[in-house]
Amino acid sequence: MASLWEGRSLATGDIDNDGDLDLAVASSEVGLYLYTNDGAGNFSRLPLDLTPLEGAPIFNAVLVDIDNDGWQDLFLASYLRGNYWWRNNAGHFDPEALRRVAGNPQTPLAMALSFADLDRDGFLDLALGNWAAGWYRRIPGEESRNRLLFNPDGQLDGTRFTDLPGLPGETLSLLFTDFDQDGLSDLIVGNDFDIPDYFYRGDGKGGLSMITEPEGLIPHTTTTTMAVKSADLFNTGYPALYLAQIAGRSSGVSERLKMQSLDQYCSTIQDPAAKATCETNMAIKRWYKSGNRFDPSYAGRCQQMSGRYQAECKAMLIKDLAIQRRDPSLCALIPKDQWVPQAYCDLHFKPTRQPLPAEIAVSHRQILRSNVLLEWQGASYGDTATTRGLEVGGWSWDTKVADFDLDGWQDVYIVNGTWVPNEVSPSNLFFKNNGEGGFAEASDAAGLEDFLMTATAAQFDLDGDGDLDLVTHPVNGPLALFRNTAQGSRLVVELEDLTGNRAGIGARITLLNADGSAQMRELQLGGGFMSFDAPRAHFGLAGAQHAAGLQILWPDGVQTQLKGPLSAGQLYRITRHPRPE
């Protein structure tokens, strides 16, 4: 089903406060996997008592310090079973520390999440990007309305909230970022299908005001938005906003998309059990596509299966038949133990929320078949994706922006793919920043070519050498690790804020290069698609052995300047202490 084949989230953070970045992998089968890092990139699974989460398919698992005690907690979003906060007790997650976070009981899933201290009280607040039914029902009802949860005194319980204005959409990406350069966190909402994306200005007091199309700030947005990023791509100190969607379908409308026959789809998987699972799923995929017109011959194919596969197959066919005949009574024929397709079937027939003419008039225009890159042009944003070489992304999903090759310029990595075409699968894409205002696809040269359909990736320094490695989560395969072997000089900055949110989420760090140029990073937690990267700022120095200094704009607007030289090859942990009374 649409929500279930896109994969599960990846998150990185230091679970045990040993200085190394660990990994959280969401799972709808067992709930959650946590892996601790020994510092050299070797991971061990952390035992968890998941009894309190039994029966809760977890889609998003975020490592985030909710109570601001210096330990990375877990925020969990499940399908039809609500959201949870699991407090980290000195590196351990005890069952009694799991608590439910109140929400709209009609909301199936928070598909997108982003964190920032929106009201500047020192604790991270949370935006929930809600999702209902995907392509079956392109215009959802109120169950899909997005919500902002406040976190007073670090006691997130969901009872203090604001529902966001605008039309409820199928939200796939959320990002808190200061896109208007006023020092306050704003919010970008990326919606799939007919409901447009939304941009909200923050007032620093917890309020968000919706930016409307007549204001002329945003020329247009993507239509099938799956990832939203904000980054200083051109070392100007100003963030460019990148929105990724279906841009060059994987059936091949662009020569920049590399394809592989589906006959070879499982060939790169080495683990025999994972490869067998992949081949079984691919065999089913060749004849069954959720949403196609009901074919009675499918019933015979279900009969040829056994066990779990047969039960799921029959339930899915009943769901499809009910939707295509527009007969909600058929949903009752789905067995009770198949509660996911049954709930999906019931949800399809809930009332939709049709847009009013006045709402359409203030909504941003959408475009198809091209990613969008919004650059500030003095009074408004302009779309420069085509001129910069970033308009094609395949069936874009998660998108990463970082200086992977350490040349001083941030690159773009897009994972992509879909079950829809029959013949081929595309490779993920790596766009190298040439430092002159353009990008060129270089996945093969970078060693990032991979044809497994992938929706989610994590970027983090897994082996402590200062460059950014990648872990991807293919939909029909095991996790894949891409270790970065770049040789350039680099340095890393991590913040500890003892006067605000501990990790400094929302801060802007500007590195002053020895040659007088500068690079800016904003510490974010959100954006992309179902991925949450540890808030560390990585800088490539293009061969230089030191930087001239750092400028930090903290989330509360206070500025700090650090004079260099700052030697390359170091991780700088910068702590801000409260001012003496």
Beta bridge partners of 126: 115, 149
> Residue 374: which of 245, 254, 238 has the closest Cα?
238
> Average pLDDT, whole number, for the chain?
94
Do the beta carbons of residue 83 and residue 76 sit within 8 Å? yes
> Strand order in 83-86's β-sheet?
58-64, 73-78, 83-86, 98-101
Nearest-angstrom CA–CA distance, 538 and 527? 18
Half-sphere exposure of 314 (CA within 13 A, CB side): 15
CB atoms within 10 A of CB 354: 9
pLDDT in tens, 406-442: 999 999 999 998 866 667 888 999 999 999 999 999 9
Do the beta carbons of residue 453 and residue 475 sit within 8 Å? yes
Copy the structure tokens of residue 118: 């929106």
Residue 445 has φ and ψ, to the nearest 5°, of: -65, -30
Domain spans in the chain, listed from the N-terminal domain onward: 1-95, 102-213, 288-349, 492-576
Cα-based distances in Å from 236 to 186, 376, 414, 522: 20, 10, 23, 13
Q: What pLDDT is attached to residue 501?
A: 99
Nearest-angstrom CA–CA distance, 498 and 68? 9
Helices (H), 210-366: 272-285, 297-303, 307-325, 339-348, 357-361
Nearest-angstrom CA–CA distance, 411 and 409? 7
pLDDT in tens, 138-153: 789 999 999 999 999 9
Half-sphere exposure of 249 (CA within 13 A, CB side): 8
β-pairing, 240-244 with 227-231?
antiparallel
Half-sphere exposure of 335 (CA within 13 A, CB side): 10
Instruction: Provide the total of helices (H) and of strands (E) in the chain, helices listed first.
Output: 7, 40
How would CATH label the architecture of 102-213? Beta Barrel (2.40)
Place of tokens 């460059």: 467
> Residue 244: which of 225, 265, 261 has the closest Cα?
225
Q: What pLDDT is attached to residue 421?
A: 60
For the packed helices 339-348 and 307-325, what is the interaxial angle rounded to 10 degrees? 10
Q: What pLDDT is attached to residue 3?
A: 52
Q: What pLDDT is attached to residue 384?
A: 98
Which helix (DSSP H) or strand (DSSP E) does residue 443 occupy? helix 443-446
Count of positions (residues) in the chain: 581
Amino acid of residue 359: E
Nearest-angstrom CA–CA distance, 471 and 33? 14
CB atoms within 10 A of CB 306: 8
Nearest-angstrom CA–CA distance, 343 and 315? 11
Q: What pLDDT is attached to residue 254?
A: 57
Beta bridge partners of 441: 431
Do the beta carbons of residue 150 and residue 157 sit within 8 Å? no
Q: What pLDDT is attached to residue 251?
A: 40
Burial 3-36 (b: 16+ CB within 10 A, else e): bbebbbbbbbbbbbeeebbbbbbbebeebbbbbb
Q: What pLDDT is attached to residue 5?
A: 62
Q: What pLDDT is attached to residue 250?
A: 40
Nearest-angstrom CA–CA distance, 324 and 309? 22
Q: What is the DSSP letter of 332?
A: G
The backbone region for 311, taken as left when phi is positive above 0, alpha when psi lies in -120 to 50, beta otherwise, is alpha
Intervals of the chain under pLDDT 50: 1-2, 249-253
Place of tokens 């039809």: 80
- Longest Cα pair distance anywhere in the chain, in angstroms? 77
Virtual torsion, Cα 35, 37, 38, 42, nearest 10 deg: 80
Virtual torsion, Cα 316, 317, 319, 324, nearest 10 deg: 140
Nearest-angstrom CA–CA distance, 541 and 532? 25
Copy the structure tokens of residue 168: 């409820």
Nearest-angstrom CA–CA distance, 102 and 251? 42
Q: What pLDDT is attached to residue 361?
A: 95
Q: What pLDDT is attached to residue 253?
A: 42
Q: What is the DSSP letter of 89?
A: B
Do the beta carbons of residue 140 and residue 170 sit within 8 Å? yes
The backbone region for 163, taken as left when phi is positive above 0, alpha when psi lies in -120 to 50, beta otherwise, is beta
β-pairing, 571-576 with 490-497?
parallel
* pTM, to two decimals: 0.96
Nearest-angstrom CA–CA distance, 325 and 44? 49
Nearest-angstrom CA–CA distance, 195 and 364? 9
Copy the structure tokens of residue 510: 């500007």
